[in-house]
A and B are shown apart, each in its own frame.
Chain A
Amino acid sequence: MIAALVDIGSLFKVFYASLAAGVGVAIAFSLAIYGTTRAAERRRGGRAGAAAAFGTLAAVATLVSLGAAVYGVVLVAHK
């Protein structure tokens, strides 16, 4: 009976969209911090190649985090 009154599809949409966005941004931002911290360590150790690789990881992960946040807002605004 409850299933007939409740829009289960919309509830699932809220669940998987929240999970994808919330966990996705957390992973991306953690990788940004990981990349930044490791890049600094490698730079101090004189390993320029590894520092550049971790720096790239940090930059890409930061862009993904910001992009996901902006995309979420734009998606809601166009509904």
Chain B
Amino acid sequence: MGGSELVLVIVVVTALAFDVTNGFHDTANVVATAISTHALPPRVAIAGASILNFVGAFVSLKVAATVAQGFVTGSAVTTTVVFCGLVGAIAWNLITWYFGLPSSSSHALIGGLVGSVIVARGFAQVSGSGLLGKLIVPAIVAPVVAFVVAGTAILIIYRIVGRLAPGPVNRGFRAGQIASSALLALSHGTNDAQKTMGVITLALISHGDVAAKGFHVPVWVVLSAASAIALGTFSGGWRIIRTMGTRIIKMDPAQGFAAQGAGAAVILAASSVGYPLSTTHVISGGIMGAGAAKRVSAVRWGLAGNIAAAWALTLPLAALFGGATYAVSSLFGSGALGPVLISAAALSLLAIAVVRRLQRAQPAPVAQ
């Protein structure tokens, strides 16, 4: 195996690792409302979301095309550039996961890639119009749309069922939440797994394994990205589930249904035109809309502000991490040495974190 093949293998493995963190990080978006309103037991909700994330990855490839072709010049991309972008995205995902902040994995991925390209080839290789038109503006508009849709939906729902006994209404909306959770998980798989497919395809194009003309995602890429996001979802990110499920607002089942339905509707509509939306932004907008329509003070706006700050910082900080990783990698030349050393360092850090966690989990010795 030559140096370029080795880097390509590292890129594919890193992209799939990112996909696992994406599923792990975004599990909360899909299941938090259903868990917090007791529509589904946590384990069942996560297992179901995992299966539907897998299925959703096969639904459409339009977002993958946008990620692979919409933000950076194809000739500026090398496998090392993709690798460093992925490392930047994973680093930001893990930091926000640690602090329990529902930031966007999609923006982290694109930010990482853009930062890596800027350091490697300069600003001229980044498509400003692509970033603005296909990422930044939809990122601002989508949560607002979800907020409006969820708010309108919950007002109409209360109008229709407001005079009924709460028991059957809550039971009904809990049942509805099973379906809306399923749709949300499917739409999450459709939108998010495609981003990894887009990045792997970008690496394959730069390596010459896939033709740049006539965008085509190989079947093995679709299958592996679908499996990785499903695996990540199944692992579950409990910190963010708590933030999304109970800390933004205390939800009733009707609000959960309205938020999830609005989120799924926005993500599916955006996927159909190829926008790589953040599931996190959309479902957070839906949750806030469902809460604010009932009572504006029901939303914890301070927490919502923290989440918004994490959103705004995601693109530039992931770009910073991606660019810094490329700068470090380039110290070791343009071959495989940089990516190999960075992968080894990342795996070592991961191993240390796992060992420390296992040590903390061990019971204290019983005194004699």
Chain A contacts of B272 at CB under 8 A? 17, 75-76, 79
A21 to B183, CA, bound (A): 12
B141, B150, B186: the one within 8 Å of A11 (CB): B141
Q: Least Cβ distance of A27 to chain B in Å?
A: 6
- Pick from A19, A36, A79: contact of B172, CB under 8 Å: A36
Contact pick for B169, options A2, A10, A33, CB 8 Å:
A33
Whether the Cβ atoms of B173 and A33 lie closer than 8 Å is yes
Q: Which of B83-91, B152-160, B297-305 contacts A (4 or more CB under 8 A)?
A: B152-160
Please report the C-alpha to C-alpha distance between residue A38 and residue B173 in the assembled complex, in whole angstroms: 16
Chain A CB within 10 Å, residue with most, of B138, B142, B153, B257: B153
B150–A27 touching, CB < 8 Å: no
Q: Nearest Cβ in chain B — how far from A30, in angstroms?
A: 4
- Residue B164 lies at the interface, judged by CB distance under 8 Å to chain A: yes
Chain A residues, CB < 8 A from B218: none
Q: Is the CB of B59 within 8 A of A25?
A: no
Q: Tell me if B248 is interfacial: C-beta within 8 Å of chain A.
A: no
> Is the CB of B137 closer than 8 A to any CB of chain A?
yes
Tell me which residues across on chain A come within 8 A of B173, comparing CB atoms. Answer: 29, 33
Q: Which of B111-119, B203-211, B258-266 contacts A (4 or more CB under 8 A)?
A: B258-266
Which residues of chain B are near A6, meaning CB under 8 Å? 132-133, 137
Given known A-B contacts A10-B275, A23-B156, A26-B258, A73 and B59 have beta carbons under 8 A apart: yes
* B349: Cβ under 8 A from any A Cβ: no
What 0/1 pattern do residues 149 to 178 of B give for CB contact below 8 A with A?
110111011001100110011001100100
Supposing A18-B146, A30-B156 touch, asked if A69 and B183 sit within 8 A by C-beta, the answer is: yes
Indicate which residue in B137, B148, B186, B265 contacts A17 across the interface (CB closer than 8 Å): B265
User: Chain B: interface secondary structure?
Assistant: helix
CB contact between B271 and one of A2, A27, A40, A76 (< 8 Å): that residue:
A76
Expressed in whole angstroms, the minimum distance between the Cβ of A76 and any Cβ of chain B is 5
Q: Which of A19, A33, A38 is in CB contact (< 8 Å) with B152?
A: A19
Could you tell me the distance between the alpha carbons of A77 and B161 in the complex, rounded to whole angstroms?
Answer: 33
* A6 vs chain B, min Cβ distance (A): 4
Chain A: residues with CB nearer than 8 A to chain B? 2, 5-7, 10-11, 13-15, 17-19, 21-23, 25-27, 29-34, 36-38, 40, 65-66, 69, 72-73, 75-77, 79
- Assuming A26-B157, A73-B268, what are 13 further A-B pairs, CB within 8 angstroms? A5-B132, A11-B138, A13-B269, A15-B145, A22-B152, A22-B264, A25-B265, A29-B172, A37-B168, A73-B59, A75-B272, A76-B59, A76-B272
